[in-house]
A and B are shown apart, each in its own frame.
Chain A
Amino acid sequence: MAAKAPDRRRNNPPSHGTTAPVFLSTSADAPKAQQEARPPGEIRKIFLRTGLIASVTGSSFLEISPLKLSVSVLGPRPLPRSSTTPFAAQAILTTEVKFAPFASTVRRGYLRDSSERDLGSRLYQALVGAIRRELYPKSRIEVVVTILDSEDEGDEVNTIFMEEGKASSELKYWDVGRAERALGVVLAGCITAASAALADAGIEMYDLVSGGVASVFVDEADSKGKGKDNSVGEKLYVRDPPVAPPGGKAPLATCVIGYMAARDEISELWISGKLGTRNGVTEMDELVDEAVAAARASRGVLNEAAKERVKFIVGKAQATAGAEGKDVEMTG
């Protein structure tokens, strides 16, 4: 008789059977994240390029090992027609930060979680004052950041650390501010890369905003025996800090800033951790100064990346002009 009618209600396996795939083990050869030896005042090397995505107005890609992220800038585009938003005399900026599911050490979901929303609003704050929004009425500018790799450990871990860090001192010292350091490096990278993408898009700005992050550490012994007089020993300020604290040191606080170097203005400031109340003012000032120094250091990279496309066009124009000049010489 004829073959049995195929079962269309279920997902059928292939008729010829399958073989389970065999993967070569790479875990033994996988390079370990080495503890790089760099002075505390030096930031990691930054790789920043612009104009990689053709379908958007402006884009950039940033890499500060192991952080990788790409930024797309869309617009200025018309406001959605059916929206209830009233007439907007200035451009409406929207920022969105999304971790790829594989970007953290703990896998993330596809929906935006609370730390992504938090980073998005901080990025908005860092950029909104720098854009000349009055030049773009009735329009919106969208900044979309996709993080492809980071030292971050996922939203659940962040929430636990952040809440417990504030609630109790039972937490092990090396975990304090761990999430803040990871997210701080991410946010600083987002700010720098987003400015480069906005410049690439040709959107007018008062100044480029560069991100900087710094942490302050004390000797472990000091942190344990910290008295009520807040007299702690020598503090160690680290710019662009790694997630793991330096050996024998306990973290106190982390500061992230968005900094407009040409105007000497801070557009975004995020400090978390413990800074003593009595010496608090000077401690905080010192930490902010360190973060500003880190932001100044990344500004140089940002300037070059922002110029990249224009430089290419000018170079090409000069090359063709030179070729034409040669032609004239030959004919003449």
Chain B
Amino acid sequence: MGRRFLLRFLKLHWFGYAVGVAFMFLASWIQTLFPRILGDTVDILKTAGFAPAGVYTQIGYLLGVAAATFGTTYVWRNLVIGGARRLECDLREALFDHFQVLSPSFYSRRKTGDLIAYAINDINAVRMMLGPATSQAINGVAVILFTVVAMARASDWRLTLLALLPLPFIVAFMLVVGRVVKKRFKRVQKTFATISDRVNENISGIRVIKAYAQEDEEVRRFERLNDRMVEANLAMVRVSSLLSPVIEACFTVSFVLNLILGGGRVLAGQITLGDFVAFNGYLVLLLKPVISIGQVINVVQRGMASLSRLDEILDVAPDVVDGGPVAAFPAHAGIAVRDLSFAYPGADREALSGIDLTIPAGRTLGIVGRTGSGKSTLVQLLMKMYNVEDGRILFGGTDLNDFRLDALRRGFGLVPQDNFLFSATVEENIRCFQGGYTPEQVAQAARDACIYDSLMALPDGLGTMLGERGVNLSGGQKQRISIARALIRDPEVLVLDDALSAVDTVTEGEILANLRRVRAGRTTLIIAHRISAVQEADEIVVLDAGRIVERGTHAELLAKGGPYREICDLQ
């Protein structure tokens, strides 16, 4: 898909690229005119009693070349290099779109850091390949061709070939040494990363280090790393410092050949002094594209590898897609779960087995059970974060798989376990970036979640930035903001997934009382560790190892003296 994206992009912008490449050729050709003009001028100046008009013409050419070089280079760089930048940004947006439709099962397999690397490093590598590297390659080939032809014309084929002799050596040397430098540079980077990690960990764990008086040993350990860093750096420099002197020396061989042989020819009257001077100029022109060969190869290799990696990601199809055409979540609908079993992809044990549940419209269901008993999994399935294969889930009689995905999910207000908030303002977090809520609605949601007063105490009230570039809230505060975020949607089904764990018992009571008020007649699911959060629910189910082991009201379950009673007694 990455490749297809590229083709589509080129198709869309082919004209700009064609013009750009044409100007690139023009620029390369113009570049090769300079040595000739200088040489011709030298020839004019050499003849005694030359006419100034001839020189003026040459000066005019020089100025013309200057202007044309500037103009053509400016045009092609903007078109080709700028085009690659556009490609980079378009590709990144396409990738972002793709990320947004991929399902949780994808994210559970991939590390966030790796995915970011696709969006930044890999896309950049593709950009480098299609922008700078491609233009350098085209430009380089053009310059070399034009120059070699011009050289042969200024002198002759034999001298030209002789002068080109050292160039293959330069290329070979660059490739070999370049590889070594790259390897050693990687080691430097790795050591640097290790140092960063060590410092990071050390500072984060400074209390432990201090408490156990480990400082001296830690400094000694750091010094060992430090030594490795120095060694890695010096090892790299030992090789990389050779690169440009050796290239220069090789190149000088060509130059000296012209000096001696070409000079001899001038003396023999075979070529003019102007030819000699022009030949020198051409040699200088050749150096740059030759030096860049290694670099171009590197960039292209990296770009191709990145393109394949991007392909791999872009070709992943989302697991969960729209099931059917139903575009609205039924109002005041009950929920029915029929013989539902589920295992996470790749897991050999079922996370849920044979779940049967009926939640009449407007009722509150409490779910308790130890960590890993399947409570959160049940919620994820209700919201179709994973596909349901075994068993059925019905909302007001409509099968979950008949809904459009967004219609289904808009039916829910979820307060997830991990209190995830964005680095945005409090208000944006409560709205979850969606429009259509009045400031009063936002404030009311905050009040219902018992967080309004502590939010107003923040420096900018509801406009306070959260996260890295803003305020850090306590876990309890974050939890209550996520409750407000769910409440403001006034959803058909409200789900609290262990969402009261970090608030104290008094606040918990207040929030539950508010919920009873605002959720009167609406369906609510409360998952909790603490019994106090569910004891008022219309029905409570106890999950263990993916099965419902008990169900009933608080009083019934207490009387039963089963697992529920056990949990109560522990608290």
A and B: interacting chains: no
Chain B residues proximal to chain A, CB less than 8 Å: none
